[in-house]
Amino acid sequence: MKKAISIMVVMFLLTFTVFAAYYDVGAGLTYDSFSFVEKVTVEGETTETKMPHDALGVNIAGTYWFTDTLGVEANLDFAKGDVINMSSEDFSIKASSQLIGPSVAVKYLVLKSPVFVNVKAGAGYYFYNSTTKVTSTSEGTTVETTSKMKGNGFGMLVGAEMLHPVTNSLAIKANAGYKLFTNIKNLKDQDGNEITDTAISMNGLKLGFGVIYSF
């Protein structure tokens, strides 16, 4: 999967370099919020426990501008965070997750002065992985177990981006968006068994801050 994504990024950048008359590339830090939902069914009745979750990550992006105001943007996001981190004298549980998501969005420039402001809407495909480690101690003996889970799914994103020029080519960017209809499906454990008692919703806030360079 990582090799395929790397090839996509290289092809994307080469395409911009060869064919684009006006384009920009950028990178920055991101914050994502989403939810981890546990489903438990007892005697035919299902209850859900929702646990809010956030993650920090990095983003690289490039935009090809068809006109001065209309462009298409390709992104690659990587985010990582803790789902659960609890401990006591003889027991601890820690679950961490990571998310990799290539996406494409249409951008429209709505303001040029005193700062540049874009609005955008697009869709992406997300790859999700999580690792849960449980440690328990009893009568001087410590037992540690590790379980893994992975899944993937489509989603949508709407948002806005503000750019403050530093030079004619370099600008500082800040963006905010919201992920819609983004659910991780096809959940499986480390042995390839399907997981049916857990759902992951990626719907939530997405923030970013970084730099962008125009060619």
Residue 2: how many other CB atoms lie within 10 Å: 8
pLDDT band at 144 (very low <50, low <70, confident <90, very high): confident
- Please check the confidence at residue 111 and state whether its pLDDT lies above 60: yes
Cα separation, 68 vs 76, in Å, equals 24
- The model carries a pTM of 0.76
- Chain segment 52-62, per-residue pLDDT in tens: 778 899 999 99
The DSSP code for 182 is -
Q: What is the CATH number of domain 2-80+105-126+154-214?
A: 2.40.160
b or e along 143-170 (b: 16 or more beta carbons within 10 Å of the residue's beta carbon)? eeeeeebbbbbebbbebebebeeeeeee
> pLDDT tens for residues 14-43?
555 555 557 899 999 999 887 766 666 667
